[in-house]
Every structure is written in structure tokens, then in C-alpha cells.
Chains A and B, each alone.
Chain A
């Protein structure tokens, strides 16, 4: 999937991140390839345990033991982050590549003011003086629309609401002008009206700065609203990948179709029964052989139980890992 259609900012190739636990090897990410082009918002969507967050953490080598990247390349601006010396990687983190997480309270240090925490990155990466850093911090808080940033800069995280804290996280992530923002479930902990504010803000800042965004979420609707490209993950692999319009217009993988029909939308008629995907997401210690979705799949045939499908381009730019469906 790489190489098609111009320049790539981040190119994840054949990534495998495994966890070596006492109970066995958890193949959390098992052969994921994903290109992110400049200025694109790429959504990675999937249910809990599908490997989407571990994929995100692997990019900046933030996976902790017993987890380890065992295979693959993570090319960022042409350099492989997997083999980059720790010093050089540290210079990239929070500078060229930033990350925001689901729960802003646990990602902010409670004993420092939000201003100190943002200014730290600016001084470290941009070599700004304390006065310059403070000024830029206030400017960043203003850009993420925190009211009266001149006084909020001295507030502590606990003095802010969840939505405010997520804005601070975004201000911090964008303070050094990153080329790539990795956002791991950035609105999942927020109420729907606050979620709308934050997504709108992220889109606007992305347009202004031209950075790329890797948006990790469990919510297909958030992807539809925000992203340009989307990858659907199931059981440690990408099972479908396309532009957002293509994927929502013509979902091909039975899992993607099931996900889309399992949730009622505001338009679902009362008389309709919701589509059910039987069973549950498989335990990564005991993945089924063949296609990992086959025990839950309405289309499964005999070969699905033994042969693991690979991504195939079934329509232009639309890749599907299923040997049963056609384009």
C-alpha cells in the first residue's frame, strides 16, 4: 500500500508488537502497514484490544516491557524510528511528533501549573528563553480557545474541567509545531457537546498548520466526521483500508459492515432489529486460526478457518483482508 500516490510522512511497514507475558505471547500488533501522507487525517478504528493503541505507542517507542516491537519499520520523514538512537528519538517526541491521550488528567502532572508544563517543551525543543516560552504558551492557550489565557496559564490541572484539560493537552502537543499529531481516543472521556468542540478545534488547527493527524478511536462516526483516510483494525491487524468516503460508501469487510449496522444511528427506525455480531472479540492469547474474524463472520467458508487473508486492493485505493468478498 506504500508508494501509491506521492509523498508519505509516516510509513508504518509490517509492524509487529508482541507482549511476552507469563501466560504466553500476546500478539497485540501483528503485521500492520499504514501510510500517513502530509496534511492528512488518518483514522484508525477498532474495538478494545484490537491493537490500535499499541500501534500508536509503537511509533514513538513508548511500548513498555513485557511489550516489544519484534518486526517492521516505522519510517518518519525517511528515517526508521525503530532503530533511531534514543537521543534522536527524544528530540523528535513532542517536537516533530506529538501525542495526546484519552484521559488528560493522567497525562498532566498535577503538581505543576499547565503553563509550566507547556513551556517546558517549548524551552527544551525550541531553545526559547523562559519569557519567550511563557509568551508562546499563552499564545497556544489562546489558540485552543481557553478563556483568559493570561491567568489560566498559572492554573493547576485539577482547577480545570475535562474539556479544558484536553485543550491544554492539545496546546502542549502543538506548541512546537509538530508535523504529526498522534491522538489516541482524544474525545472518548468527554461529553458529546465537548467532544464536538474538541474535534472541531483539532480539524481547524490541522488545516491551519498542515500537520498530519493519526486519530485512534473506537467510534466510526468520529472517523466519518474527521478523517480523510481510515484503517479498520480487528484482532491485531488492519482488515480494511480506504478513503473515508469510499469506506463509508461501500464497506466491504464483513466486520466493518457488522460494526456499521450494529449501532443505531439517529435515523434507525424503531421497527428495525439491530444487526448483531455474534460472540465477542477473541482473546489475543488464543486467536483462532485462519481469518481471526471467521468464528463471528456470517460469510465464513471452509478456507477461512485455515487461510489467513491478506489485504487486497478490491477497488481503487480500497484494501480488504477477506477472501470471500468482491469489489
Chain B
């Protein structure tokens, strides 16, 4: 699969200011050099716990926040070098669905105005044509086009998220960042949106960057998975590989922590000590080393591990490297 989107060494540092003159006293390295590719029609799952930088990564790619450095190649063009006007034109192809269907829809706009806003901005069609596209898009996401003049508060959480999906879909994008799109929904409604996202991908060949802390949903939806810890990707492989044979000790712990809905399989867990450290002062060497069960003294705390490719399954870990080295 040729890459639709290629992210190279993307970084986003947020300044920490203090004192009377708001001097910059440090940098939160929210995203600290991540690289990945996404093929047309493919889903890359980006998983990690809160504060790992996954949401910042998704927004930096679309330049909803300006990245500090790196490259985001979309069909060969580096999005980070585009002028604001050029970027705006590109956004037709690149959309986002947000987590919270309550706060991400303008309560004063009708469903029609929300879904049609992109069309208006990009000057697509006449008024009547735009309305027809909006109706068609509502049908695609399973909403009755008769709702076009209603307001978001008249809908349930699941229906609102369908409106959010419709807004992203109206411009026929090639790529959508899905930022925790089902996390705020009730379980009985989550599957409606998950199934919808899959159907739309199968029909229209849209590529997804699916950002989530929910490992079960990511496994179900993703072709490939990248695991983030403290601003960096520590492991990436096909979804089957990551879940069947996790290499990185962090991925192993993360997977073993997922509760299983089967009382006969109460399993031995890998319980990680402590909490995720602050991205303001990330640990030396491998960022996971203070919590790592495979920690090698004098190595892991001193040198950052390189991302190494083991037959298409990539991991950044000294312990794995030593074990797997021929």
C-alpha cells in the first residue's frame, strides 16, 4: 500500500512560562519525534494513556495546532510548508471527528448548517446543491434528512456523534483523524458509531488515524497499531501482531491491564509501579525505564533505544533488542 500520509519526526513542544515576564522556563515535549505512514483506505490505531501525546499528535498533523518541527507528507506535499490559504484548500481532504459530541457542535447552528459549513467555506455548489449534499450525507450516517433544521441539543449522544461524522464526511475526505470518537458514548451506543465508521471506510475508502485509549476498540478497527508512551511511539506493527505478540514491555503491561469480561479468566497482571512521569521532565534514556520490568541498568537509563524493525514489527526497547539480536 503506498502511503497517503507520511509523518516524519513530528514534534510539538509547549512552552512553560513562569514569573513576572512570563519567561519560558521549560518545554512540555508532548509529541517528541514520532513517525508513521498511513495508506489509502487504511486505519492506523494510535493508542496510549492520558498525557501520552496522542491527541496532540492528531491535531498537529492537521495543523489545528502548529507543530514545532517535522514533516507531514500528504500525497507527497509537506503540509507544514503550506501557506494558510493552501492549507485551507487541503483541509477538504483531511477531516477530524472529536471526542465529545456535546461540546464539539455549535449549539446555535442547525444540523444543516453544521454539516454544510465546510461546503460553504470551500465554495462548493449552489445553495440548493449544498442542501442536497447535506441531506445525502445525513443519509450516509444513518440520520433522517428531515432533521436538517434541528439543533444539536435535540439529539442523543450517539446521534450527535453521527452529526460529527457527517460534518467530517460532507467534503468527501480521503483521511479522517478520529480522536476518541466513541469514548464519551454509552456502551449500547458505541457500537452503532464503530460500525458506522467501518461501513463508511469500506464504501468510500477513507483512511483513519484512530486515536483511543480503548485497546479493544482499537484492535477491532485498526489494520495497524502504534503505541505511544510519553510523546514517543514505542511499538508499531499490524494489529494482529501487536495484540498477539507484543514486544515492548509497556505494550505488554497495557494489554494485560485491560479488564476481560470473563470471570473465569481473572488473569495474572503485569502491574506497573508508579505513574506516568511528567512530559516536562521525561526520564533519561528510555522514557519507560523507571516503571519497566525488563529494565537493564546502565543501558536503559542512559541511552534512548532505537526503533528497530523485526520483520515488519517495530519496537524501541533495549531488552527486546538484546533478546532478538542474532
Contact = CB atoms under 8 A, between A and B. Distances in A.
A225 B243 contact: no
A178 interface: no
Given A191-B49, A274-B220, A163 B275 contact: yes
Interface in B256-271: 256-264, 266, 269, 271
Contacts of A296: 188
Contact of A195 (B186, B194, B257, B262): B257
Size range of the chain A interface in the assembly: 35 or more
B254 A264 contact: no
A253 to B, nearest CB: 13
Contacts of A270: 220, 239
Contact of B260 (A147, A192, A221, A277): A221
Interface stretch (A5-13, A100-108, A125-133, A255-263): A255-263
Most A CB within 10 A of own CB, among B156, B188, B220, B275: B188
A280 B159 contact: yes
Contacts of B260: 221, 224-225, 265-266
Contacts of B187: 47, 218, 220, 259, 262-263
A258 B188 CA distance: 7
B190 A263 contact: yes
A266 B215 contact: yes
A276 B220 CA distance: 15
B292 interface: no
B269 to A, nearest CB: 5
A196 B271 contact: yes
Interface in A179-222: 191-197, 199-200, 218-222
Given A47-B187, A276-B192, A248 B263 contact: yes
Contacts of B194: 264, 274
Most A CB within 10 A of own CB, among B191, B216, B219: B191
Contacts of A192: 49, 213, 215, 254, 257-258
Given A259-B187, A263-B191, A266-B255, A193 B263 contact: no
B186 A196 contact: no
Contacts of A260: 261
B216 A263 contact: yes
A275 interface: yes
Interface string B49-65: 11000000000000000
B152 interface: no
Contacts of B216: 263-266, 268
B266 to A, nearest CB: 6
A47 B257 contact: no
Nearest to A47: B186
A222 B158 CA distance: 23
A109 interface: no
A315 interface: no
Given A47-B188, A191-B49, A264-B219, A220 B261 contact: yes
Given A47-B186, A48-B186, A225-B260, 18 more contacts: A191-B49, A192-B254, A193-B253, A194-B275, A197-B272, A200-B269, A220-B261, A221-B258, A222-B259, A245-B264, A248-B261, A258-B188, A262-B187, A266-B243, A277-B191, A278-B192, A280-B157, A280-B186
Interface of A: 47-48, 147, 161, 163-164, 191-197, 199-200, 218-222, 224-225, 244-245, 248, 255, 258-260, 262-266, 268, 270, 273-278, 280-281, 296
Q: Which 6 A-B pairs have the closest CB atoms?
A: A264-B220, A221-B259, A280-B156, A191-B49, A274-B191, A196-B257
8 contacts: A192-B49, A192-B213, A195-B259, A222-B259, A224-B260, A225-B263, A255-B188, A259-B187
